[in-house]
């Protein structure tokens, strides 16, 4: 059983996460993406979210709403440094 850190639901059975917004270090808030990388239907290969539902926290298939890249590695969530 894998429990999402954000919504506390079992990712094996939940339709998706309940988190709907992402807050970026610059203070901008954007809606979370429901897009999946290269998966036209069914469920996400990583977090098991149904297509059209929000990905669970840390999912490697979630797109960044700011740049369109892979959210966990695009750098948009990295803290800004002086």
pLDDT in tens, 13-47: 999 999 889 999 999 999 998 887 666 678 998 99
- For residue 45, the enclosing domain spans 1-82
For residue 22, list its beta bridge partners.
Answer: 30
pLDDT in tens, 38-81: 666 789 989 999 988 999 988 988 999 999 999 999 999 998 65
Gyration radius of the chain's alpha carbons: 13
Half-sphere exposure of 57 (CA within 13 A, CB side): 13
pTM value? 0.82
Contact 49/15 with Cβ under 8 angstroms? yes
Overall number of domains in the chain: 1
């Amino acid at each position: 059983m894998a429990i999402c850190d954000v919504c506390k639901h079992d990712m094996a059975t939940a339709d998706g996460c309940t988190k709907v917004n992402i807050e970026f270090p610059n203070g901008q808030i954007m809606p979370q993406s429901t897009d999946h990388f290269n998966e036209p239907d069914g469920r996400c290969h990583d977090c098991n979210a149904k297509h059209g539902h929000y990905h669970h926290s840390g999912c490697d298939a979630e797109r960044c709403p700011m740049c369109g890249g892979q959210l966990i590695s695009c750098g948009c969530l990295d803290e800004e440094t002086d």
